[in-house]
């Protein structure tokens, strides 16, 4: 069985999503080692089914901003990773982890682009954004296989590296009992549902503006909160992180699934 090193950009016990699903499926075909970040102070969010082998890279504050701290983090992380030449395949789900692949690595490299990551990168200084974009470009050029989770992301990658072969594997769902929607009719109240992280990209202004314009709507927001939260009577927050299967049970309570995200312009 071939050996694969699998880098993912979220903690293993974060909300169960694409990287976790890929890891557990790839584990059936490969001798898989999962590598993920780990915050020094971060509560455990949920008990996801663990992979057989898991390595956690502790994230040191300011490691991306201060060169000395970055050097310490590099030393710590490379010692945890060990000899990467032992792996037949290295799968990278977060572009900054591509930096750990040695120049002389002879195996296959896979890049799974699941987000427009620089739009969500916390440091908005132009110099630092350009640096992380260069790291993604280096990974993109080096990768033997590239996946994107949407046509928009594929187009973005092709604008960076024209002619690169890129395969789309969309995010999806499974094992859900679909409910036949009710016939359209006027209601006393309309419920707009959102499932996902409430972070800096969540457009609070759009939500508040819609509440002011329409007295018949309210929002059900389900997911972890990383940013300021709207204080409105018609905004109901479920801050916990239930399993995705459990989340589906709330969908019939919503008339519309909404995604009020800001458009973040990137270089």
pLDDT tens per residue across span 254-264: 677 666 666 55
Q: What is the pLDDT of residue 257?
A: 67
Give the mean model confidence (pLDDT) for residues 139-143: 97
CA distances for 231 relative to 209, 211, 224, angstroms: 13, 12, 16
**Helix intervals (H) in 167-241:** 204-213
Question: Tokens in use for 226?
Answer: 């990383």
Rounded Cα–Cα distance for residues 198 and 24 (Å): 26
Give the mean model confidence (pLDDT) for residues 130-149: 94
Rounded Cα–Cα distance for residues 245 and 167 (Å): 27
Return the higher-pLDDT residue of 248 and 48. Answer: 48
- Do residues 228 and 198 make contact, with C-beta atoms less than 8 angstroms apart? no
- Do residues 47 and 19 make contact, with C-beta atoms less than 8 angstroms apart? no
Question: May I ask the CATH class of domain 3-168?
Answer: alpha beta
Q: What is the pLDDT of residue 266?
A: 42
Residue 119: pLDDT band by 50, 70, 90 thresholds?
A: confident
DSSP symbol at 223:
S
Q: What is the pLDDT of residues 199-230, one digit of tens each?
A: 777 888 889 999 999 999 999 888 777 777 77
Q: What is the pLDDT of residue 262?
A: 65
Give the mean model confidence (pLDDT) for residues 131-137: 91
Residue 235 CB contacts under 8 Å (≥ 6 apart), including other chains: 207, 211, 218, 219, 221
Q: What is the pLDDT of residues 151-178, one digit of tens each?
A: 999 999 999 999 999 999 998 765 556 6
- Do residues 29 and 114 make contact, with C-beta atoms less than 8 angstroms apart? no
Give the mean model confidence (pLDDT) for residues 55-84: 93
What is the residue-averaged pLDDT of the chain? Answer: 85
Domain boundaries defined on the chain: 3-168, 190-257
Q: What is the pLDDT of residue 28?
A: 96
Q: What is the pLDDT of residue 267?
A: 38
Give the mean model confidence (pLDDT) for residues 237-248: 56
Return the higher-pLDDT residue of 6 and 173. Answer: 6
Residue 43: pLDDT band by 50, 70, 90 thresholds?
A: low
Q: What is the pTM of this model?
A: 0.76
Residue 240 pLDDT > 60: no
Residue 82 pLDDT > 90: yes
DSSP letter string, 61-111: TTTTT-HHHHHHHHHHHHHHH--GGG-SEEEESSGGGGGGS-TT--SEEEE
Residue 231 pLDDT > 90: no
How many CB atoms are located within 10 Å of the residue 225 CB?
Answer: 13
Q: Which neighbouring-strand residues pair with 261?
A: 202
**Buried b / exposed e across 171-196, counting CB within 10 Å, b at 16+?**
eeeeeeeeeeeeeeeeeeeebbbbbb
Q: Which residue carries 């976790």 as its tokens? A: 20
Give the mean model confidence (pLDDT) for residues 224-238: 80
- Burial class of residue 14, CB neighbours in 10 A (0-12, 13-18, 19+): buried
Q: Select the highest-mean-pLDDT range: 34-48, 108-122, 175-189.
A: 108-122
**Helix intervals (H) in the chain:** 18-26, 67-81, 117-120, 126-142, 151-160, 204-213, 244-247
Q: What is the pLDDT of residue 232?
A: 87
């Amino acid at each position: 069985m071939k050996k694969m090193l699998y880098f993912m950009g979220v903690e293993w016990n974060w909300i169960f999503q694409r990287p976790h699903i890929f890891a557990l499926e790839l584990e059936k075909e490969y001798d898989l080692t999962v590598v993920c970040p780990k915050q020094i102070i971060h509560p455990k969010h949920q008990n996801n089914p663990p992979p057989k082998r898991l390595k956690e890279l502790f994230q040191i504050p300011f490691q991306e901003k201060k060169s000395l701290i970055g050097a310490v983090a590099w030393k710590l992380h490379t010692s945890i990773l060990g000899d990467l030449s032992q792996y037949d395949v290295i799968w990278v789900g977060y572009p900054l982890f591509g930096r750990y692949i040695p120049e002389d690595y002879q195996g296959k490299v896979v890049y799974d682009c699941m987000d427009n990551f620089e739009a969500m990168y916390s440091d908005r200084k132009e110099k630092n954004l350009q640096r992380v974009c260069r790291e993604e470009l280096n990974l993109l050029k080096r990768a033997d296989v590239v996946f994107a989770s949407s046509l928009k992301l594929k187009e973005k990658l092709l604008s960076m590296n024209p002619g690169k072969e890129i395969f789309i594997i969309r995010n999806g769902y499974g094992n859900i009992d679909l409910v036949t929607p009710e016939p359209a009719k006027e209601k006393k109240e309309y419920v707009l549902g959102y499932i996902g992280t409430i972070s800096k990209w969540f457009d609070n202004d759009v939500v508040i503006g819609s509440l002011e314009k329409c007295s018949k709507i309210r929002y059900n927001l389900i997911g972890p909160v990383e940013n300021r939260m709207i204080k409105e009577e018609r905004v109901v927050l479920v801050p916990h992180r239930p399993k995705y299967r459990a989340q589906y049970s709330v969908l019939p309570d919503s008339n519309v699934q909404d995604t009020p995200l800001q458009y973040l312009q990137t270089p």
